[in-house]
Structure 1
């Protein structure tokens, strides 16, 4: 039975309100945890300096108390879903570097053996079916171990585009004051050889086109005799740093209504489909293309872009500001878990005639064309300065870890630390993303992996005097500490985002609150060291994807995106080219570490 869109939206909203609020930790608890979290990475002198700054921050009437009181007041304000409501826009929309490669993430889908156009049409049909289910309130809430999860991110899967701005970007999306309710758009944007086309895939009455018609419409795109010169491929502009792109975008629409209409078509499109005219030579090349392939054949600001190569391999590039991996995984599983013709039938699709692609063009002056060229060249160079590597374990997965009596995530995170120590000669700050969608508007929490127990485990593994029992006990202690900390993070008991938001409040409201300068805590060795990533890790477990990936987060960081399934373990690593040797050493040591730990834990 169909549900009215208004009723469906009301049901989804009521569901969201029924979830518990994200707990706001006390200032004392976050400061205590912060000291414990950063301590293993500091010298005694650095610890003492950090402790002194924490004491000053906690002083009655001090800066920490003032900022925390402001956050408590905000959290209690009507209409505020979470004390993180302002944090997320500043964290994601406030970043001023490029989002292509630096922030967007990708999934490489499992192969199906279909040709390019059939694969692309199937993804479109699946997405249209998912949208119809969302609009009608038919997507069941995701549950983790029986606990309902926030579903609000689903509102940003369709017709959502990040728009560059100063000092913050904005998001153009449905379910907003400007566009209440689900998207009413009927079109997608298809890229081929740097040319953009508008393709209406839903008829005037809201019914999707049939699968064959969508495929024929995509074929018409590839056969079109419209070709966009390299310097006219405005998609390149979405690779620029945000303020620079904002200024360029403003110049595009100034006194040019045709450009404003083209931008409107792109930004309101349900999603993008990027058809490539080549097949990557191997899996790693396919991953690299999904992360930072460009050729003017992307609009990196679009929330969802499907990329389909000439051989039918496919994946997705996702803009991160409103979407996390867990939401996109659910979407992906729905798309790939059902045959395309079944999606098409269930969506109510019917023959309506082949949709005719309409080219989307921009009128560019000489200065704007020069900007397109420079953006393309700069991003190509940036991609070339990024080293990546895939690592695959066909004989190890979560089932093997569980058989050894250990949490699979604790096992692999311990292996990362051991590999890092051996590759670089020391441990370093390690970030792990922990999902907190069991809370209203919940997203993720930042976990720091290096505990005293992890430090002791790594030391024991490379201590010639430590016997098997000693090493095994050290590993068990590290794994238990890892699981305990992950549970703390899941329960909203983590210090980093809380303290970070207090810093952001000072930046936004310092004058008003009488806190005119950055508190010294944020220049302390502990804060700077804890947040200076050497490893940035995140997991995306799904049978429907082969690899997951993102760029590294600093000049010496290795990005570690992993797909840990019962019978396999695949990783995509990325790091700046200047430190590529360390990444390759990490990969080799990781192979050894996984084998070593399996042997250690096997009776």
Structure 2
């Protein structure tokens, strides 16, 4: 099935939509100046940059990429700050994998190994969107393992390069000498556990359980000061030279190569916790992952917690949703354990006293920064569809609730980012929907002042729907302007428009928001806010309500308590208004 290439939107459409996005966020004087800058851009450098981008797109299409591919990846790989505090995400997932304990952990690992090994064998089925269109499978490549390798200026993605099958396959389904391994983190220590047979099939569930039991029975003391994965929580600026020093030792270089080849890592958590605490720990706390691996799973042995820590460079939430769904669909056969399965082996770093001291100092600084990040959950009512006067998009409703909460808390509205899946295009990632439309602002202002009308409401819903359609048809604003800025840089052509305050205001995301729909595979997730004063908000539609996970900085996020309170109040206000409407 062929995935269509990512088109370059018409210049005039993007500029018109940009002005609409800027209108609610800047004062009238700035808006008028921005209109003048936009007109000059449209008649002067804009067409030249557009032509260059279209030519670049044709060249990239011929290579099987999109015009956005390399610049998008480069934006991630040049991040120098700690990934868990910048771009990585902690997802709580769900699945009927049994009661808490060793058996449930083993079933999660077996299911994950099945899905990852299927990708290694090249047998992952083609994914399609709800309309039956094929989507790009590029992001699934992260399931084969590998690492993001920190470098001083730009990191590298290193993949294992699996052979199609093992020439040294063991007999009777036994693991081969080069069987695929996973990493098991327990009490801050890492163990390598083989999970595949010679033909890249998962070992039996009972063999996985025996391996995990062997890890637990070691009963090693907890490594608290410097867990195995501690270095990976440092940003590349600090991590790259430390990793070079670490792997200068041949033993450590071998451990790092083994870590790189692992399909994934799983963290066995011993202590039960409240949901918010689990989320914060999985996303931000040192030692829960090798944070430069694409995926680290997490399972608590004492409660229902299941999670994935995801490094975001090469994979987005929609693919992680598909992976979490694929785990649920794995059939677990009743098989006898392998008679001669290799035992898990402990992997350790050989640290000089100087390197250890430097790592301890750097990790302490990370912990101090991570302690500033928190997650606050707010659940608000949601009427049953039968109670609504007409169809109201859950996504639009939740964005209107957040917008009204902004207005009620701060007396003004600021920029909001909403991610939209774009994988139906070649090498597709995400587009940015800008939900703070003039129509939405007019409606929530009227709602706040008790003067809202059905006309204002439907105009806000229509404007949101128009943005959704534009993004899904590759006619969003943010990515196109990113491409034009890339061309300006390549051609050495400065642009007043691309440096305008209005464009900066549109891109300054007081709320960075994202939703993956309902809680059937991914329940909720945590990530760092993208602005010091703002929030990262994940929102999920349940049967009877909407849940907002408000990710915040304890030191700088602006009035968390007021915003959280007004989310609930805004939902009440919205649905009270909707109740006055008639079909």
For residues 336-385 of structure 1, give each alpha carbon's deviation from its aligned partner in whole angstroms, at most 9, with x where no partner exists. Answer: 345xxx3355xx88624343111111122233212321232122211221
2:250 is equivalent to residue 274 of structure 1: no
Aligned partner of 1:571 in structure 2 is 548
Aligned partners of 2:423, 2:432: CA distance in 1, in Å?
Answer: 13
Contact 1:303 1:320 in 2 (8 A): yes
**1:177-256 pair list within 5 angstroms:** 186-224=180-218, 226=220, 229-230=223-224, 232-254=226-248, 256=249
Which residue of 530, 538, 545 corresponds with 2:514? 538
Aligned partner of 1:525 in structure 2 is 501
2:80 is equivalent to residue 92 of structure 1: no
For residues 110-165 of structure 1, give each alpha carbon's deviation from its aligned partner in whole angstroms, at most 9, with x where no partner exists. Answer: 37562232222111111122234443535242231222222221121231321112
Aligned partners of 1:504, 1:583: CA distance in 2, in Å?
Answer: 36
Aligned partner of 1:459 in structure 2 is 445
Per the TM alignment, residue 597 of structure 1 is displaced from its structure 2 partner at its CA by 1.5
Aligned partner of 1:148 in structure 2 is 134
Relative to structure 1, is the Cα distance of residues 457 and 401 closer, same or farther in structure 2, using a 3 angstrom cutoff?
farther
Per the TM alignment, residue 186 of structure 1 is displaced from its structure 2 partner at its CA by 0.8
Per the TM alignment, residue 103 of structure 1 is displaced from its structure 2 partner at its CA by 0.9
**1:265-344 pair list within 5 angstroms:** 265-280=258-273, 282-294=274-286, 296-312=287-303, 313-337=305-329, 342-344=331-333
Aligned partner of 1:496 in structure 2 is 478
**1:69-108 pair list within 5 angstroms:** 69-77=51-59, 78-108=62-92
Aligned partner of 1:128 in structure 2 is 113
2:538 is equivalent to residue 561 of structure 1: yes
Contact 2:512 2:535 in 1 (8 A): yes
**1:1-150 pair list within 5 angstroms:** 15=1, 18-60=2-44, 62=45, 64-77=46-59, 78-110=62-94, 112=96, 114-134=99-119, 135-137=121-123, 139-150=125-136
Per the TM alignment, residue 573 of structure 1 is displaced from its structure 2 partner at its CA by 0.8
Aligned partner of 1:169 in structure 2 is 155
Contact 2:280 2:373 in 1 (8 A): no
Contact 1:392 1:568 in 2 (8 A): yes
Stretches of structure 1 lacking an aligned partner (at least 5 in a row): 1-14
Structure 1 residue matching 2:190: 3-state secondary structure: strand
Aligned partner of 1:11 in structure 2 is none
Aligned partner of 2:169 in structure 1 is none
Contact 2:117 2:200 in 1 (8 A): no
Contact 1:133 1:139 in 2 (8 A): no
Aligned partners of 2:554, 2:344: CA distance in 1, in Å?
Answer: 40
TM-score, length-normalised on structure 2? 0.90
Q: Which 10-residue stretch deviates more, 444-453 or 365-374?
A: 365-374
For residues 385-436 of structure 1, give each alpha carbon's deviation from its aligned partner in whole angstroms, at most 9, with x where no partner exists. Answer: 123201224x527847866521111111111100111112110100000111
Q: Which 10-residue stretch deviates more, 438-447 or 127-136?
A: 127-136
Which residue of 243, 257, 262 corresponds with 1:264? 257
Contact 2:405 2:567 in 1 (8 A): yes
Relative to structure 1, is the Cα distance of residues 291 and 231 closer, same or farther in structure 2, using a 3 angstrom cutoff?
closer
Aligned partner of 2:361 in structure 1 is 374
Aligned partners of 1:443, 1:314: CA distance in 2, in Å?
Answer: 26
Aligned partner of 2:377 in structure 1 is 390
Contact 1:150 1:440 in 2 (8 A): yes
For residues 534-569 of structure 1, give each alpha carbon's deviation from its aligned partner in whole angstroms, at most 9, with x where no partner exists. Answer: 111100224133322221111111111112244442
Aligned partners of 1:34, 1:247: CA distance in 2, in Å?
Answer: 42
TM-score, length-normalised on structure 1? 0.87
Per the TM alignment, residue 44 of structure 1 is displaced from its structure 2 partner at its CA by 1.5
Contact 1:126 1:344 in 2 (8 A): no
Which residue of 410, 421, 427 corresponds with 2:396? 410
Per the TM alignment, residue 21 of structure 1 is displaced from its structure 2 partner at its CA by 1.0
Aligned partner of 1:591 in structure 2 is 568
Relative to structure 1, is the Cα distance of residues 504 and 90 closer, same or farther in structure 2, using a 3 angstrom cutoff?
farther
Aligned partners of 2:113, 2:277: CA distance in 1, in Å?
Answer: 29
For residues 17-44 of structure 1, give each alpha carbon's deviation from its aligned partner in whole angstroms, at most 9, with x where no partner exists. Answer: x121111013333222222211221112
Aligned partners of 1:349, 1:484: CA distance in 2, in Å?
Answer: 56
Relative to structure 1, is the Cα distance of residues 125 and 398 closer, same or farther in structure 2, using a 3 angstrom cutoff?
farther
Per the TM alignment, residue 195 of structure 1 is displaced from its structure 2 partner at its CA by 0.8
Aligned partners of 2:355, 2:528: CA distance in 1, in Å?
Answer: 28
Contact 2:536 2:552 in 1 (8 A): yes
Contact 2:422 2:431 in 1 (8 A): yes
Stretches of structure 2 lacking an aligned partner (at least 5 in a row): 167-177
How well do the aligned residues superpose, as a CA RMSD in angstroms? 2.5
Contact 1:233 1:372 in 2 (8 A): no
Aligned partners of 1:400, 1:227: CA distance in 2, in Å?
Answer: 56
For residues 269-302 of structure 1, give each alpha carbon's deviation from its aligned partner in whole angstroms, at most 9, with x where no partner exists. Answer: 000001123211x1111111221122x3421111
Structure 1 residue matching 2:256: 3-state secondary structure: helix
Contact 1:150 1:441 in 2 (8 A): yes
Contact 1:430 1:450 in 2 (8 A): yes
Which residue of 436, 448, 459 corresponds with 1:477? 459
Relative to structure 1, is the Cα distance of residues 400 and 235 closer, same or farther in structure 2, using a 3 angstrom cutoff?
farther
Aligned partners of 1:598, 1:228: CA distance in 2, in Å?
Answer: 50
Per the TM alignment, residue 187 of structure 1 is displaced from its structure 2 partner at its CA by 0.2
Relative to structure 1, is the Cα distance of residues 153 and 435 closer, same or farther in structure 2, using a 3 angstrom cutoff?
same
Aligned partner of 1:8 in structure 2 is none
Aligned partners of 1:85, 1:461: CA distance in 2, in Å?
Answer: 42
Structure 1 residue matching 2:453: 3-state secondary structure: helix
